[in-house]
Structure 1
Amino acid sequence: MKDMHSDLSVASAIDAATLAADNTPAAIDLRGFDAAEIVLAIGAGGITFTSSNKIEFKLTHSEEDASYEPVTEVDVLGVEEIGSGGVIKALVAAHAQAGVYRFGYVGGKRYLKLLAAFSGTHGTGTPIAGVVIRGHGQINPQTAQA
């Protein structure tokens, strides 16, 4: 078995919680890494999502951690279309079972932010977690995070 552990680091983009409103996105610094993978873990929907009662996951990036712009199709792998504002995943229909989704970031900017943007009425929250796996570290092994 090959060692992948020494070559990567994980950062929380959306802390694991049951959310019913927008999170406050943390800036994820990719300095010292040559690859990034965004992983969303979404539990069963707290409501039945519709086009007006929805959650959109918006990915933005920045070179200097000051002004962020939405990613586009050329910045992200694993998604056919990026929605307005950098939407990489949208919950707009029933989401009865938990799921895990991954997206590769190839945009080349230093900082990422991931926002779970809620629209409409969410009387019951939805379990959500988002992490950024930073890979191909330039100085290895990476610090253990256990």
Structure 2
Amino acid sequence: MKDIHSAFKAVVAIAAASLTADPTPPAIDLRGYDAVEFYLAIGVGGITFDATNKIEFKLTHSDDNVTYEAVAQADVLGVTVGSGGIVKALVAAHAAAAVYRFGYKGGRRYTKLLPDFSGTHGTGTPIAALAQLGYGHDNPQANQA
């Protein structure tokens, strides 16, 4: 069996919570890594999503951790990027928990994944996201257990 444990580091991209409004996402610093894969976990929708009452997950990137811009399709693997860096949109009923993944291949040092809430969300939707940093320049990576 091959060892991937020593080659990756996980960081929080969206803290696990039942959300009804936009949280403040942490900046993910990619310094020292050559790859990042995002894992977005979404529970059963707290509301029935539609074109007005929705959540759009936007991926942004930055060189300086101050000025962030939306990613473009050329920066991402595994999903179609919509206007404003949208990598996933909840605009219809989300009746079962699911995990979605996509990779960032852009050349910027920092990224952020923001759940952008629109409309009315009287009941929260469980959301969490991890960023898996890979191909570290200093392997093996430290244990995180």
Do they superpose with TM above 0.5? yes
Displacement after TM superposition at 1:109 (Å): 0.7
Which residues in structure 2 correspond to 1:33-72 (within 5 Å)?
Answer: 33-72=33-72
Structure 1 counterpart of 2:57, which letter?
F
Deviations 1:20-46 (A, max 9, x none): 000101100000001100110000000
Q: What is the TM-score when the length of structure 2 is the normalising length?
A: 0.98
Q: Partners in 1 of 2:56 and 2:20 — Cα distance?
A: 12
Query: Counterpart in 2 of 1:134?
Result: 133
- Which secondary structure state, in structure 1, belongs to the residue aligned with residue 117 of structure 2? strand
Does 1:30 find its partner at 2:30? Answer: yes
Q: Partners in 1 of 2:10 and 2:98 — Cα distance?
A: 19
- Which secondary structure state, in structure 2, belongs to the residue aligned with residue 139 of structure 1? coil
Structure 2 counterpart of 1:101, which letter?
Y
Displacement after TM superposition at 1:64 (Å): 1.1
Displacement after TM superposition at 1:85 (Å): 1.4
Displacement after TM superposition at 1:83 (Å): 1.6
Query: Counterpart in 2 of 1:9?
Result: 9
Q: Partners in 1 of 2:113 and 2:64 — Cα distance?
A: 16
User: Mind listing any 5+ residue stretches in structure 1 that lack a counterpart?
Assistant: none
Structure 1 counterpart of 2:51, which letter?
S
- C-alpha RMSD over aligned residues: 0.6
Q: Partners in 2 of 1:3 and 1:134 — Cα distance?
A: 15
Displacement after TM superposition at 1:66 (Å): 1.1
| Matched positions, count | 145
Deviations 1:50-93 (A, max 9, x none): 0000000000000111100000100000113x122111000000
Identity of aligned residues (%): 66
Displacement after TM superposition at 1:143 (Å): 1.1
Structure 2 counterpart of 1:12, which letter?
V
User: Mind listing any 5+ residue stretches in structure 2 that lack a counterpart?
Assistant: none
Structure 1 counterpart of 2:97, which letter?
A
- Which secondary structure state, in structure 2, belongs to the residue aligned with residue 46 of structure 1? coil
